Amino acid sequence: MTTSTDPELLDSPTHAERRGIELVTDAERHGHARDLFAVWAAPNVSVLNFTIGATLTLLGLEIWQSALVILASNLLWIFPGIVAASGPAAGTSGSVVQRAIYGIRGNKVVIAFYGWFISGVFLALNWVASSFMGAELLTRWGWGDKTLALVLVTVVVSLITVLVAVFGHGLILRAYTAVTLLLLVIFLAVTGFVLPQIDWSFTQPEPLQGIALWSSLTIGFAIMASTPLSYSNSADLARYLPRDTSPVRIAAATAFGGAIPCFFFTMVGALLATAVPAESIDLGIEYALLDMLPVWLGPIFVIGVILNTIALNGMTTYTASMAFQSIGIPIRRIPSAVVIGVLGTLFTIYLVMSTSLLDAVNIMLQLLILISAPTIAIYVTDILLRRNRYDGVALFQESPEGPFWYHGGWSLSGLSSVVLGACAGSLFMTTDVFSGPFAVAMGYLDLSVPVCLLVSSGLYVLFAHRQVHRQASLAAV
């Protein structure tokens, strides 16, 4: 652990960041909460939002119903907003902060599974999107072997992504404002060309009613909610902020940065589905989009998709590299980022060879709820119970003398809450590959998100509130 100012840990956009989970001292703190807006906006100006928005229409929802689902799910961006505030409070990554929840050893198990799995899945899902579109463009330009094109685009994008992760926080903080503006110009231009082709009088051939309508609404909400609930890494991007930075401003900048572009472009995706045949969406909405754009804009749009992928996956690889460190793997952050990049690349190549983008997105996003919803719910609950007071030094005391050793290094309160929350959510989940018994009994309603959130949070309050209040009081002294 490093607690003093170290020249090798300099946070600069022009130098590879060597800092991993080491504490950020007050002398090294810098920046403003508003800087986080662009950090979260750039990854969410995404073609995946078009895809997910189109999914809502395929579920049988009317446009106004899709709009309500999109709005409701984007309110959940407050969760990563609150989580971000714990970064400056503790001065380290969220994967270390959660030692206070699960215990020193228990946290290693949670992060080992949750950290690499979530990161690997989202790396792959986003690389899949750029790989499909990049390969399609190369094919239209005369490239004969589409399989080779898929692999080539994946590898090139992966290499650039890993470079972003290697340079780390300094590059992300300073470059993402320009990236956000460029992506907005590209995606707004695409929106401008597709909106005239929208069927504004669209209605479903057979409007849903009763339990069928509620089933589609809840399934759509679960798919949409998985995006904001997956960002429990938001503390990592905020940890360099001065300790006295307003938590409310941190939460607002993070939440609005993610929610505004996510809402707008997902809504565009829902509208886009009215102008595209269902079979075309099943094959991949990225192909339909290229057909709807003028010849000159298609390549620019593909560049935008790839740039967004690099922005999102660069951030994901960066934070995942610290997750590896926090579980005790003896590896520096930079080689860790390389390892994660390789794993994500291999997963992506497998996906592009075996499935469509729409299938990959829908199945993965729903199943991820069972991991992401309980963990972020408990994280937010812990922050609120502690009033965001964390002792950064104590988080690195990996011995029985430390306050977060609990029972042999395991916090039964945190671990039981997350497991029971996931189990409860699975009973209410509806997917193409699995449906819980309660979901089936209710006509395939998907209540996995609210059940996971409420059960996990409620159990954690019940089991841990006395212990947390006592620790928070000591941290405030």
The per-residue pLDDT for 276 is: 79
pLDDT of residue 120: 67
pLDDT at 4: 44
DSSP 391: -
| pLDDT one-digit tens code per residue, 10-65 | 677 888 888 889 999 999 999 999 999 999 999 999 888 988 898 898 889 999 99
And the tokens for 438?
């309660």
* pTM of the predicted protein model: 0.91
The token duo for 78 is 């407050």
pLDDT of residue 211: 95
Per-residue confidence (pLDDT) for residue 20, from 0 to 100? 86
CA separation, residue 113 to residues 106, 118, 338, 376, 419 (Å): 11, 8, 18, 14, 13
pLDDT digits (tens, 9 = 90+) for 268-302: 999 998 887 766 666 566 667 888 889 899 899 99
Q: What is the pLDDT of residue 2?
A: 45
Q: Which residue has tokens 């009763």?
A: 210
pLDDT means per 10 residues in the chain (477 residues)? 52 83 92 96 90 88 96 97 97 95 93 71 72 81 81 87 90 94 96 91 91 95 91 94 96 98 95 79 69 89 91 88 80 80 75 58 70 95 95 93 94 96 95 88 95 98 91 70
**Residue 276 carries which DSSP code?**
S
Q: What pLDDT score does 330 carry?
A: 74
**Residue 143 has what pLDDT?**
83
Q: What's residue 52's pLDDT?
A: 86
What are the φ/ψ torsions at residue 149 (nearest 5 degrees)?
-65, -40
Percent of the chain that is helix, strand, coil (3-state, to 5): 75, 0, 25
Q: Residue 323: CB partners within 8 Å, gap ≥ 6?
A: 93, 95, 111, 115, 116, 119, 233
Complete domains list, the chain, with CATH: 29-359 (1.10.4160.10)
Q: Is 400 exposed, middle or buried (0-12, 13-18, 19+ CB in 10 A)?
A: exposed
CB proximity list for 64: less than 8 A, separation 6 or greater = none
| pLDDT of 175 | 93
Q: What is the pLDDT of residue 78?
A: 98
Alpha-helical segments (H) within 327-411: 333-354, 357-386
